[in-house]
């Protein structure tokens, strides 16, 4: 017989871990709801060209890591590697982009990248992200960073801090890109093979290279702050003021660029002390809506890597106490069939095993499941119109009348 295993890079989230995911998901959705965000659900499958156009066809995500294939009609399809492109596509397609107001949207779901699997990094991974569309004021950038900081605090992430930078408007970005190109052109021999190509296709991405040789040269590379236009300087200053007044811990990293083409002006990443990878990242993307065929609408957002958060935080479930039902004999079993569903209708958690015959085996199973109480019904109990409730912690038993068992089991849950 063949053994089936997970496909490389994929992972299961087992029942014991799910409560932690629920907890994080609840903190995320409740927090962004307070800030006025509404959920949007887009498909996992999109046209491949959507990601080429938005993230950039030269980016690692699109050139190396995308899960792309042809469907049965020969359409070029891709599994989404990130959420922003899909949200912007839906924003335009649905007509939301024609309303002249700010939209605050959030999304949650699996993303796919054919990346090298490492601890906490998978080829199917979950992202929670927000997109604020239609706001160009730097205070919007500040607000999303403050919201992300609030999330980090609510999740009790130890010592979170932000790296922030600006990439400038398209004109500043273009100028900076030229300067970076000149700078690295003189050092081309020392660059990794990927970066050699990046010099012509996307010079700014050299600043994001993980190769240690490239990294060294990046630290001496020119910074954008020296050549920003007045508007871009002003934008970054106001953004800083907003996060300062809200006590967000941050450092400026003038070489922070992010690996996606669509960012303009503010970019940021959320870190914790002692961790190499960012927990969340985002920025402003003022040209993307137009680039994807919509009107000229500025936007800013971020995405959180769920697996990173799951690995980082401690969460011990205060499991809800529940009952186990042990019925012995045919008559008791039938009576039990009605009782168990009455209790469930009342919202009381209770389980049983219909195949077990003996009390001993029932009690063993009740123990394994972790039930707090075991309800026992046998022929004697039926005759007396009673049930026995055994406290699995103390071993104490009490008799409860079958005329009043719903209220009595509810009382037990309160103590």
- Chain positions contacting Zn ion, by CB under 5 A: 168-169, 172, 192, 195, 209, 211, 214, 229, 232
Closest CA to 266 of 227, 236, 222, 308: 236
In angstroms, what is the minimal distance from the CB of 283 to Zn ion?
15
Burial class (CB in 10 A: 0-12, 13-18, 19+), 371: buried
354 by DSSP, 3-state: which? coil
Element (H, E) at 324: strand 323-327
- CB of 230 or CB of 316, closer to Zn ion: 230
The residue written with tokens 């912007």 in the block is: 88
State the distance between the two ends of the chain, measured CA to CA, in whole angstroms: 50
Closer to Zn ion by Cβ: residue 168 or 294: 168
Min. distance of Cβ 262 from Zn ion in angstroms?
A: 16
* Closest to Zn ion by CB, 172 or 326: 172
Closest distance between Zn ion and the C-beta of residue 205, in Å? 9
**Lookup: tokens for 220:** 């001496």
For residues 20 and 181, which CB has a smaller minimum distance to Zn ion in the complex?
181
Name every residue whose Cβ is closer than 8 Å to that of residue 101 and which is 6 or more positions away in sequence: 134
- We find the least distance from the C-beta atom of residue 241 to Zn ion, in angstroms, to be 18
Shortest Cβ distance from residue 142 to Zn ion (Å)? 18
Residues 6+ apart with CB under 8 A from 23: 315
CB of 165 to Zn ion, least distance (A): 14
Of 127, 133, 125, nearest to 303 by C-alpha is: 127
Q: What are the backbone dihedrals phi and psi of residue 73, each rounded to the nearest 5 degrees, phi first?
A: -100, 10
How far apart are alpha carbons 125 and 117 in whole angstroms?
11
Please, which residue, 238 or 372, has the CB nearer to Zn ion? Answer: 238
In whole angstroms, how close is the CB of 218 to Zn ion at the nearest point? 9
User: Could you give the count of Cα atoms lying within 13 Å of 315 in the half-sphere of its Cβ?
Assistant: 22
CB of 119 to Zn ion, least distance (A): 23
Angle at 367 between CA 361 and CA 372, to 5 degrees: 130
Q: Closer to Zn ion at the Cβ: 214 or 327?
A: 214
d(CA 120, CA 122): 7
Complex with Zn ion: residue 214 or 387, whichever CB lies closer:
214
Structure token pair of residue 409: 């089991």
**Shorter beta-carbon distance to Zn ion: residue 130 or 214:** 214
Task: Report, in Å, the least distance between residue 191 CB and Zn ion.
Answer: 6
Whether residue 271 contacts residue 163, with contact meaning beta carbons closer than 8 Å, is answered with: yes
Using the minimum distance from each CB to Zn ion, give the nearer residue, 149 or 284.
284
CB-CB neighbours of 403 under 10 Å: 10
CB 374 within 8 A of CB 389: yes
């Amino acid at each position: 017989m063949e053994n089936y295993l997970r496909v490389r890079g994929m992972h299961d989230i087992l029942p014991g871990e799910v409560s932690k995911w629920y907890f994080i998901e609840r903190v995320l959705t409740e927090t962004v709801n307070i800030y006025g965000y509404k959920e949007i659900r887009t498909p996992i499958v999109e046209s491949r060209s959507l990601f080429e156009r938005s993230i950039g066809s030269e980016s690692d995500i699109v050139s190396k890591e995308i899960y792309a294939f042809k469907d049965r009609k020969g359409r070029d399809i891709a599994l989404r590697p990130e959420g922003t492109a899909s949200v912007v596509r839906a924003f335009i397609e649905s007509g939301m982009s024609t309303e002249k107001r700010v939209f605050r949207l959030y999304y949650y779901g699996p993303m796919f990248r054919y990346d090298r699997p490492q601890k906490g990094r998978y080829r199917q991974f979950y992202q929670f992200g927000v997109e604020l569309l239609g706001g160009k004021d730097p205070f919007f950038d500040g607000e999303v960073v403050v919201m992300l900081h609030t999330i980090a605090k609510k999740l009790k992430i130890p010592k979170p801090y932000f790296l922030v930078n600006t990439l400038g408007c398209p004109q500043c970005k273009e100028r900076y890109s030229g300067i970076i190109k000149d700078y690295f052109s003189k050092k081309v021999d020392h660059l990794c093979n990927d970066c050699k190509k990046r010099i012509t296709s996307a010079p700014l991405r050299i600043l994001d290279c993980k190769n240690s040789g490239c990294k060294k040269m990046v630290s001496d590379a020119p910074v954008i702050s020296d050549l920003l236009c007045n508007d871009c300087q002003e934008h970054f200053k106001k953004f800083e003021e907003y996060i300062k007044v809200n006590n967000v811990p941050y450092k400026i990293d003038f070489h922070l660029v992010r690996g996606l083409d669509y960012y303009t002006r503010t970019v940021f990443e959320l870190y914790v002390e002692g961790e190499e990878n960012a927990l969340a990242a985002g920025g402003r993307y003022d040209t993307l809506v137009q680039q994807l065929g919509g009107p000229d609408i500025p936007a800013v957002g971020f995405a959180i890597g769920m697996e990173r958060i799951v690995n980082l935080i401690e969460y011990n479930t205060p499991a809800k106490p529940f009952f186990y039902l042990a019925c012995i004999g045919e008559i008791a079993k039938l009576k039990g069939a009605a009782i168990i569903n009455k209790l469930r209708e009342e919202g009381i958690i209770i389980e049983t095993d219909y195949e077990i015959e003996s009390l001993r085996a029932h009690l063993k199973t009740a123990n394994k499941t972790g039930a707090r109480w075991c309800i026992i019904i046998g022929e004697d109990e039926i005759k007396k119109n009673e049930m026995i409730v055994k406290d699995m912690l103390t071993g104490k038993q009490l008799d409860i009348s079958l005329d009043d068992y719903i209220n009595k089991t509810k009382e037990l849950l309160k103590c």
